[in-house]
Amino acid sequence: MKNTFGYSIAVTLFGESHGESIGAVIDGLAPGLEVNREYIAHMLTLRRPEGKISTPRKEKDEFRIVSGVINDRTTGTPITILIPNENVKSGDYSQIKTTARPSHADYTAECKYHGWQDSRGGGHFSGRITAALVAAGAVCRYALEQKGIRIGTHIKRCAGVSDREFGDLPADIASVNARTFAVLDEAQGEAMREAILAAASEGDSVGGILETVITGMPAGVGEPWFDTVESMLSHLMLASPAVKGIEFGAGFAIADMRGSMANDPMRMENGQVVTVTNNNGGINGGITNGMPILFRTVIKPTPTIFKPQDTIDFKTRTDAVLEPKGRHDPAIIHRARVVQDAAAAIVLCDALAMRYGTDWLGENK
């Protein structure tokens, strides 16, 4: 269904980088949920560029909720969030109209839209659209928190520097959610930022790996075929710009384990079923097992760099060289992490509503 995702709770995204507004419609959320505007604003702040390691483009990301909410409570009908684009300089992008930026969507957009696409700033393909996803996800995420379901993402690796592993989950989740640059070990975060600046000073960009953990999910949510929790999360995560892979639990490293090491032994603990290890990332057979859901996504380096690049002009169909100007990010991973949180929140809300009905997340009067 393209720009709409979800069955019971469906999110529709719209907008272009340099159009009038971007936005999202969230349909199906239970009535009576608190919509916390400060919380949404905070999540948008986490996505916004900061300091020297990001694009100089600044957006206030002031959002308006134009439907579905009264007195900061959901009505149960579609919630529409609009975010106007304020700080638009179309002129910067004049060169790229037919000269494809390598590893951007310029050429594929041309193949699909035959020259009618909005190419200003990446148009509908721009990372800017993720602001709408973050806003929509923030509404879902706040609802999950009221049910004790918490999401946290840290920058596990960036520009060759690694953060420490997740340890005490409640504390670590609280910690990363309070930080603009989401690392568990601040010294490593400082090293990452330095490495980003080093790349930027050479006109280059860097990527990294995000790690997300979700606690509090009840066991028994998800479907065996084809709508496993892993499938639904992967579907939405891989739709975000720059994400090129996802792995759950031990992930690709499980390839080199034997079954006796990879299997998660189980035991009773305080009357609850738990696993001793969590190599399966909280999901077996596509269904939650009550342990934390754990996954990592890989973020490619920002494709816009300040070096000449070989490319093609898709109008003249000739070789060309691109030397981009404008404002761009040497890294987006620190901004992408709140996008992953938002996407995860949407998937979980939908899965929970399918499982327990449309009222489950809400508060009945």
- Looking at the DSSP bridge assignments, the partners of residue 113 are none
Complete DSSP assignment for 305-316? -SS-EEEEETTT
Whole-angstrom Cα distance, residue 354 to residue 299? 30
Least Cα distance to 335 among 155, 157, 184, 200 occurs for 155
CB 297 to a second copy: min, Å: 9
Close Cβ partners of 334 (under 8 Å, ≥ 6 residues apart): 50, 53, 54, 155, 158, 180, 181, 182
Cβ proximity to a second copy, 158 vs 173, nearer residue: 158
Cβ proximity to a second copy, 165 vs 168, nearer residue: 165
Whether residue 242 contacts residue 299, with contact meaning beta carbons closer than 8 Å, is answered with yes
Cβ proximity to a second copy, 177 vs 205, nearer residue: 205
| Residue with the two structure tokens 């990301």 | 61
Cβ proximity to a second copy, 191 vs 287, nearer residue: 287
Cβ proximity to a second copy, 338 vs 347, nearer residue: 347
CB 171 to a second copy: min, Å: 26
Close Cβ partners of 304 (under 8 Å, ≥ 6 residues apart): 101, 104, 205, 324, 326, 328, 329
Angle, helices 130-146/333-356, rounded to nearest 10 degrees:
50
CB 174 to a second copy: min, Å: 26
Least Cα distance to 155 among 200, 210, 76 occurs for 210
Cβ proximity to a second copy, 152 vs 362, nearer residue: 362
Cβ proximity to a second copy, 152 vs 222, nearer residue: 222
Angle, helices 37-47/333-356, rounded to nearest 10 degrees:
140
Least Cα distance to 109 among 90, 122, 93, 94 occurs for 122
CB 176 to a second copy: min, Å: 18
CB 229 to a second copy: min, Å: 9
Whole-angstrom Cα distance, residue 178 to residue 153? 11
Cβ proximity to a second copy, 168 vs 202, nearer residue: 202
Tokens of 64: 């308006």
Whether residue 82 contacts residue 21, with contact meaning beta carbons closer than 8 Å, is answered with yes
